[in-house]
Chain A
Amino acid sequence: MSRRNILSLSVITALGLALLPNSSALSQQKSLKEQIVGTWTFVSALDVHPDGSKADRWGPNPKGIFMFDGTGHFSQFITRSDLPKFAAKTIDQGTATENKAVLSGLVASFGSYTVNEVDKTVTTHVDGSVFPNLIGVDQKRLILALTADELRYTNPATSTGFTAETVWKRAK
C-alpha cells in the first residue's frame, strides 16, 4: 500500500468516525410507525371546502378514539356528543331521522393499516364500517405532525366528499 493510499484510508476512516455519532442518533430516532402505535383521542376535524373555507361537522364536545395496535390493526371512532337516543329504546327500531343522525354524526371503522415513512402517510384498509361504502377501501392520510402528544393529518378524500384536517391527542 502506497503512502498516498494509507493517507486516503486514514481520511476516510476519520470521516467515517466523525459521521458515526450522527448516524447512530438518526437510527435512534423513532419511525412514524413506532410513534403512531397506541391510543389517540379526538380533538377536532375540519372539512376543507374547495374555496378554502373550513367547517366543523362534529358539533360541541365531539368525542372519538383512534387505536393503532402493534400488529398493524386499527379501530377508529368519531362521534357527535348529541346523537339523539332512539325513542323506541331498541337498536333496530330507530326512526328515519334517528338513523340518519347516526350516519351523519358518527364514523366507526376497523381494519389494517400501513405507514409509509417516505411519503409520511398512514393508509388504513377498512374491513368493517358503519358506512358500508368504506368496506374494502384504502384511505390515505398525509401526516402533518406526529409527536409524543399529537397526531395531525389531512384526509384528502373523506366519506362526505371533502378534504379534512384532523387532530388527535395521545391518550394517557
Chain B
Amino acid sequence: MNRIMTLAVMALGLGIALPGSVAAQTAKDLVGTWTNVSNVNIRQDGTRADAFGPHGTGTAIFESNGRYAVINVNPDVPKFAANNRVQGTPAENKAAVDGVIAHYGTYSFDAANKVINLKVEGSSYPNWAGTEQKRTIISFAGDDLKWSVAASAGVTGEVGWKRVK
C-alpha cells in the first residue's frame, strides 16, 4: 500500500471529513426533531399568507431508521362543542381538517439534489396516503431548515424549521 493510500485509509478510520464534504448536509444532519417556525403560502401573483394562521405551529421528526412524521396545525381552530372527536358538527370538522396537515411514513434524503423524498403511509389529507412526495430544500445549515412544497394548484408553501435540542 502506498503512503497516500495509507493516509487516506487512516483519515477514513479516524472519521476525518474531507474538506469538500464539510458544508454539505447529509441524511444524518436531518435526523432529529424539528419545530415549525414559519409556514407561508405564496401564490403565483407573489402574495403571501400564513398557511395556518398567525400562531401556526408544528413538528417534524426524522428518525435514523428512515421513518418520519410531520404535523402542522392552526392552534386557533375552534374546539368541538361536544368535546368528542367523532361528534363534530360539519362546520367543526371542516375547520379541523382545514387547520391541519399531518402525515407520516418513510423518507430518504437526496443530498445531491437537495430533496427530501417522502413515502406517505398515513395523512390527515387521505389523498396523500400511499403517495410519494418531494420537499425541496431552500436552505439547510446547522439548526435551521427550510423547504418548499407544491401546496395546491398555483400555491407554493415555504416551511421553516428549527432543530429541537
- List chain A positions with a Cβ less than 8 A from chain B: 38-39, 63-65, 67, 69, 71, 73, 75, 77, 79, 81, 83-86, 89-92, 94, 96, 98-104, 106-111, 127-133, 135, 159-161, 171-172
Contacts and interface: CB of A to CB of B under 8 A. Distances in A.
A128 B85 contact: no
A106 B104 CA distance: 12
28 contacts: A38-B63, A39-B63, A39-B65, A63-B122, A69-B32, A73-B33, A75-B69, A77-B122, A83-B129, A92-B152, A96-B90, A96-B93, A99-B93, A99-B94, A100-B88, A101-B126, A102-B124, A103-B93, A106-B102, A106-B122, A108-B71, A109-B71, A110-B69, A110-B71, A111-B59, A131-B96, A132-B95, A132-B99
Interface stretch (B6-14, B15-23, B72-80): B72-80
B127 interface: yes
Contacts of B125: 86, 91
Contact of B59 (A38, A75, A104): A75
Contact of B58 (A103, A107, A110): A110
B9 to A, nearest CB: 32
B71 A99 contact: no
Contacts, number: 149
Contact of B126 (A85, A108, A128): A85
B62 to A, nearest CB: 10
Interface residues of B, number: 47
Given A71-B164, A75-B104, A103-B93, A64 B73 contact: no
B140 to A, nearest CB: 19
Contacts of B1: none
Nearest to A109: B71
A90 B153 CA distance: 9
A84 to B, nearest CB: 6
B55 to A, nearest CB: 10
Contacts of A71: 33, 164-165
Given A71-B33, A103-B93, A160-B86, A127 B124 contact: no
B67 A104 contact: no
B121 interface: yes
B100 interface: yes
From B32, B58, B67, B100, residue with most partner A Cβ within 10 Å: B100
A34 B62 CA distance: 19
A94 B94 contact: yes
B96 A103 contact: yes
Contacts of A128: 57-59, 71-73, 75, 100
Nearest to A68: B61
A101 B94 CA distance: 11
Contacts of B50: none
A94 B97 contact: yes
Nearest to A78: B122
A129 B74 CA distance: 9
